[in-house]
Chain A
């Protein structure tokens, strides 16, 4: 044994010998030191902004004396790690994307935090609070908007206090178009969605001789199917082809569309009357029977992704030509948004034989791609290749016929090339841009007819804590973690200024429902909260309150 190794061994012995001494020291009246915390995030390559934000958060949390490991995963593996294994993870970066039907707060208030969805559903953080449950249920039943608004505000306040999430930012969605093609005052800005929306595509007026809307998508389309929620880009197309009884208006509220009248007879009875003389793209009339069939199609097992949206329907009845009465199982304030304005009207004569042929077989309507889709919407399908291009033509007979002749969606895999295409008019509506928004703004500064619009998204970026695992089961601990995070810095540094700080699950893009202001970041205040709750920093490491043992390990 050489000298060097002997010294090493001796020092190890010394360390072992001093261990009992340390336990006896007065500072360690505190509980065990908190284990290393794993902050899961999408890998840098998968989502550079999220990864950057995670690094910033870990940096702040370390100042509190926590040992934090930032662990990046490819997106799907992250889902595997967090969504399907509800016991093992500590805390994770997560997101909710903006969708028109999310302009009703029910999905965000109820599904995300109600205890009934904690085990398998959307409440993956495992937040259980009876008081909160009662509020969430009440806002769902309450059909008076003002009273419901008060309940939704209570829910937001409670979530802010209990801090199961650290709300980070609502990203801004940045897209561009050519004012030489679209009259700028006819381009509609939809709250929380931006200018790329149904209303722009159907109502914008041409500014010049170009009568084609040419938009882009970075990914290929998955399908064009009214009974399959297959992806965000697909929905831009399907909502133009298939009408809905109501649509979410630019203000975020549902308004009658294919229906001329929608009236509540009582809290569980809804009367709907179709607009007269509507026709399917194949020329046949749209009838009340078609409406009933459309909702029935989603209620069976053949359209699993739409099924949750019609599960509250008890029965439907045709009460006259073009008139349908819905009976609900229980009162539900979001029914208009999440069912009536969500489910596509489909022709019974096309889909009845298709669904009948699938009865008793494992396949469902999602695997049925119509060669020539038939809807009744403002655009009809001319032709499509899902990997290349979808071409829609205007439905001149529609009650709200588009001002443009065609809607063309091109699959442009190269995002930077998308910029060049907008510049040259190969694309005139840059609808899917994932690159640096600054590049787009710079280009707009150079070329006058390029218009850029950034809209605060309905979507949300947050950190979700696993409330099943200590120390995340302690509201004070979570509160401290939340206060430690600097949301302004995050919006600037990680999102390049194209995001606003968040304080609630409901985005400020929905001003009617949104409440709360983001907390001011303060490490001192975070430390004070921890101290008050009994946490102590021992030897630079944050430790549990007295008597509390560390029973878990990083996984």
Chain B
């Protein structure tokens, strides 16, 4: 219980550091945020008024105090550009990002774990000689390229899948839940999540394989073999269970990381998600929105890290006592 409390404290410390870093990072960036609004219909007085409205006319420490007070109250302010509450903007696209992330990472890990274990078992065979280079190529291929290739083949060419967006033009579902469970939404989800899954599968696969190779050297596997157990049973019940532990950590962390890290896939497939909101915000020096989005992503990542820690101590009691 004490170790949980310590970890929790560490988590808060990291969050504070992230929040502070974000604040200064954006203010050190070159370019006046109000410059994004320049237009010939815009005067210097309006410029000043805008700065005042966003508190940019105050000193840095003042801005920091103001910002931190707001963060503590969960108040991320309103976007410079759209003038809408940051929270509202994030939550509008969050379901799309979560759907894409959850589906692709689940596919990637199930595939990665099974194939990784199998390739370890087949060590030295032709399957390995062919499989490993394919896995490495997919892992190393740029996501946008992979995405464009899938688009060119399955959307523009064969026409099996739509070329972008999260639903057909003008489709109306009433609620977010109804939309996300509709066939149309899933149809749109397949290509982007396949792209992301192809990219993500490398890590669990290679991790699983190398763990398996270690575990297969262990005495208890030898023992199982000597008992004459069937191969699949040794593979799954004896070896894979133990080799799975680090993969679980990677899964939790990967889930956190890819919530914010889908920018490329979201852009290629015009998927309305958090990553693109973030990129647009940074590009237009929209401090509140960018800070809000970054904070949110950091929060998810740090919480997932915490969850991974807890999970690990449940799966492997040695960790909790160590």
Q: Which of A107, A120, A366, A411 contacts B270 (CB 8 A)?
A: A411
Partner of B84, one of A363, A369, A382, A426: A369
Q: Is the CB of B163 within 8 A of A387?
A: no
Q: Is the CB of A408 within 8 A of B280?
A: no
Majority SS at the chain B contact face = loop
Q: Which residue of B lies closest to A366 (CB)?
A: B83
- For chain A, residues 77 to 107, give those with C-beta under 8 angstroms from any C-beta of chain B: 77, 79-80, 83-84, 96, 107
**Nearest CB on B from A332, distance (A):** 16
Q: Decide if A423 touches B156 in the complex (CB within 8 Å).
A: yes
> Once the chains bind, are B151 and A214 in contact (CB under 8 Å)?
no
Asked whether B35 lies within 8 Å of A84 as measured between CB atoms, the reply is yes
Q: Which of A96, A308, A363 contacts B43 (CB 8 A)?
A: A308
**Given B32, B151, B167, which contacts A76 in the complex, CB threshold below 8 Å?**
B32
Inter-chain contact B272/A424, CB cutoff 8 Å: no
Which of A112, A388, A414 is the most central at the interface, judged by chain B CB atoms within 10 Å of its CB? Answer: A414
A383 lies within 8 A of chain B by Cβ: yes
* B residues near A309, Cβ cutoff 8 Å: 41
Q: Is A483's CB within 8 Å of the partner chain B?
A: no
A80 touches B31 (CB 8 A): yes
User: What's the minimum C-beta distance from B17 to chain A, rounded to whole angstroms?
Assistant: 28
Give the interface segment out of B63-71, B210-218, B261-269, B295-303.
B261-269
Q: Chain B residues near A411: list those with CB within 8 A.
A: 165, 270, 272
The answer for the CA separation of A469 and B170 in the assembled complex, in Å, is 55
C-alpha spacing A362/B57, complex, angstroms: 14
Q: B185 to chain A: closest CB distance in Å? A: 12
Residues of chain A contacted by B32 (CB below 8 angstroms): 76, 79-80, 84
Q: In the complex, what residue of chain A is closest to B32 when comparing beta carbons?
A: A80
Q: How far is the CA of A304 from the CA of B43 in the complex (A)?
A: 10
B124 at interface, CB cutoff 8 A: no
Contact of B164 among A230, A408, A414 (CB under 8 A): A414
Over the window 52-90 of chain B, the binary record of Cβ atoms lying under 8 Å from chain A Cβ atoms (1 yes, 0 no) is 110000000000000000000000001001111000010
- CB pair B41–A385 under 8 Å, yes or no, is no
**Do B270 and A414 have beta carbons less than 8 Å apart?**
yes
Interface contact B285-A76, CB-CB below 8 Å: yes
The 8 Å CB contact of A388, one of B53, B84, B272, B285, is B272
Complex: A96 Cα to B39 Cα, angstroms: 9
Q: Closest residue of chain A to B285, judged by CB?
A: A76
Give Cα A76–Cα B30 distance, bound, in whole angstroms. Answer: 9
- The answer, yes or no, to whether B93 is at the interface (CB within 8 Å) is yes
Q: Are B35 and A426 in contact (CB under 8 A)?
A: no
**Does A389 interact with chain B (Cβ within 8 Å)?**
yes
Q: Tell me the bound Cα distance from A414 to B271 in angstroms.
A: 9
Tell me if A223 and B82 are in contact (CB < 8 A): yes
The answer to whether B269 and A214 have CB atoms under 8 Å apart is no
Assess whether B155 is interfacial by the CB under 8 Å rule: yes
Chain B residue contacts of A414, Cβ below 8 A: 164, 267-270
- Report the Cα distance A433→B267, complex, angstroms: 15
Q: How far is the CB of B38 from chain A (nearest CB, A)?
A: 5
Type the 1/0 row for A378-391, where 1 means its CB is closer than 8 Å to any CB of B: 00001101111101
A 416-443 binary contact with B (CB < 8 Å = 1; else 0): 1100110110110000000000000000
Asked whether, in the complex, the Cβ of B83 is within 8 Å of the Cβ of A424, the reply is no
Q: Are B31 and A388 in contact (CB under 8 A)?
A: no
Among B40, B148, B172, the residue within 8 A (CB) of A416 is B148
Q: Give the interface residue-count category, chain B.
A: 35 or more
B residues 263-322 near A (Cβ < 8 Å) are 266-270, 272, 276-277, 280, 284-285
Q: Tell me the residues in window 144-159 of chain A with beta carbons closer than 8 Å to chain B beta carbons.
A: none
Q: Establish whether residues B169 and A214, one from each chain, have CB atoms under 8 Å apart when the complex forms.
A: yes
Contact in complex: B169, A212 (CB < 8 Å): yes
A423 to B82, CA, bound (A): 32
Contact between A426 and B169, CB atoms less than 8 A apart: yes
Question: Is there contact, CB below 8 Å, between B172 and A417?
Answer: no
Residue of A nearest to B45 (CB): A120
- Residue B232 at the A interface, CB < 8 A? no
Separation in Å of the B270 CB from the closest CB of chain A? Answer: 5
Are A412 and B83 in touch, CB under 8 angstroms?
Answer: no
Given contacts A408-B170, A416-B148, A417-B163, contact A304 B92 (CB under 8 A): no
B43 touches A77 (CB 8 A): no
Given A77-B30, A80-B30, A417-B269, verify A388-B166 contact (CB < 8 Å). Answer: yes
Judged by a CB distance under 8 angstroms, whether A65 is at the interface is no
Q: What residues of A have a CB within 8 angstroms of the CB of B159 in the complex?
A: 424
| A362→B276 contact, CB < 8 A | no
Least CB distance from B174 to A in Å reads 10
Q: Tell me whether A219 is interfacial, beta carbon within 8 Å.
A: yes
- Residue-wise, chain B 163-194 has the 8 Å CB interface mask toward A (1 for contact) of 11111111010000000000000000000000
- The answer for the CA separation of A469 and B82 in the assembled complex, in Å, is 38
B162 at the interface (CB under 8 A from A): yes
Q: Is the beta-carbon distance between B40 and A417 smaller than 8 angstroms?
A: no
User: Is A74 an interface position by the 8 A CB rule?
Assistant: yes
B10 at interface by CB-CB < 8 Å: no
A522 touches B (CB below 8 Å): no
Given A391-B170, A414-B267, are A229 and B41 neighbors across the interface (CB < 8 Å)? Answer: yes
Q: Which residues of A contact B12 (CB under 8 A)?
A: none
Does chain A have a CB within 8 A of B49? yes
Contacts of A410 in B (CB 8 A): 165, 169, 270
The docked-state distance in angstroms from the alpha carbon of A427 to that of B163 is 10
- Whether A220 contacts B280 in the complex (CB less than 8 A), given A414-B270, A424-B159, comes out as yes
Given contacts A369-B83, A421-B164, contact A120 B44 (CB under 8 A): yes
CB nearest neighbor in A for B271: A413
Q: Which of B93, B170, B276 has the most CB of A within 10 A?
A: B170
Given A76, A212, A387, which contacts B31 in the complex, CB threshold below 8 Å?
A: A76
Question: Is residue A512 within 8 Å, beta carbon to beta carbon, of the partner chain?
Answer: no
| A244 close to B (CB within 8 Å) | no
Contact between B162 and A426, CB atoms less than 8 A apart:
yes
Kindly state whether residue A321 has any CB partner on chain B within 8 Å.
no
A222 at the interface (CB under 8 A from B): yes
Query: Is B46 at the interface (CB under 8 A from chain A)?
Result: yes
Q: Which residues of A contact B (CB under 8 A)?
A: 74, 76-77, 79-80, 83-84, 96, 107, 111-112, 120-122, 212, 214, 219-220, 222-223, 228-230, 304-305, 308-309, 362-363, 366-369, 382-383, 385-389, 391, 406, 408, 410-414, 416-417, 420-421, 423-424, 426-427
27 CB contacts below 8 A, A to B, read: A74-B30, A76-B285, A79-B32, A79-B38, A80-B32, A120-B43, A121-B44, A220-B276, A222-B82, A228-B83, A305-B42, A309-B41, A362-B53, A382-B172, A387-B92, A388-B165, A388-B272, A389-B169, A389-B170, A410-B270, A412-B270, A414-B268, A420-B152, A424-B155, A426-B168, A426-B169, A427-B169
Q: Given A83-B38, A383-B172, output 12 extra A-B contacts at Cβ < 8 Å.
A: A76-B284, A77-B35, A111-B40, A214-B169, A228-B83, A230-B81, A305-B42, A367-B83, A385-B92, A414-B269, A417-B164, A420-B155
Give me the 10 closest cross-chain CB pairs, A-B, nearest first.
A367-B83, A120-B44, A420-B156, A79-B35, A76-B31, A388-B272, A387-B272, A76-B35, A412-B270, A413-B270
